[in-house]
């Protein structure tokens, strides 16, 4: 088991075009660091100064992590993480 991470079109250049990749870690920060080890450059697009980048939305099992613990949100095997650019007009 691992954590499935869905990658938006705009970031698939880092994942050889894959729509979803797998990773591991106890928190989102660790998960993103783990992704970086195989998909170099992706972490910087997601994290800025130890926080989630402002125009990136991250969902843990579809729940907006900004309402959880942000980048410190705990994750575990079998979870599903979705990354989306904060599309203008698509975000209340």
Is residue 88 involved in binding other proteins (CB under 8 A)? yes
Is residue 57 involved in binding other proteins (CB under 8 A)? yes
Q: How far is the CB of 91 from other proteins (least distance, A)?
A: 6
Position among 43, 59, 70, 79 found at the interface with other proteins (CB under 8 A): 59
Distance separating alpha carbons of residues 73 and 90, to the nearest angstrom: 23
The footprint of other proteins on this chain (CB under 8 A) covers a number of residues equal to 18
Residues whose CB is less than 8 angstroms from the CB of residue 1 and which lie 6 or more positions away in sequence, other chains included: 77, 78
Q: How far is the CB of 63 from other proteins (least distance, A)?
A: 5
Q: What are phi and psi of 50, to 5 degrees?
A: 80, 0
Q: What are phi and psi of 80, to 5 degrees?
A: -125, 125
How many Cα atoms are found within 13 Å in the side-chain-facing hemisphere of 70? 8
Nearer to other proteins, 28 or 57 (CB): 57
Binding residues (CB under 8 A) for other proteins: these are: 9, 57, 59, 61-64, 67-68, 82, 84, 86-92
């Amino acid at each position: 088991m691992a954590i499935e991470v869905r990658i938006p079109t705009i970031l698939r250049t880092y994942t050889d075009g894959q729509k979803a990749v797998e990773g591991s870690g106890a928190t989102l920060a660790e998960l993103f660091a783990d992704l970086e080890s195989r998909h170099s450059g992706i972490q910087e697009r997601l994290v800025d100064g130890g926080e989630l980048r402002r125009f990136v939305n991250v969902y843990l099992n579809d729940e907006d992590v900004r309402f959880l613990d942000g980048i410190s949100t705990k994750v575990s095997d079998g979870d599903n993480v979705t990354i989306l650019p904060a599309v203008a007009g698509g975000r209340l």
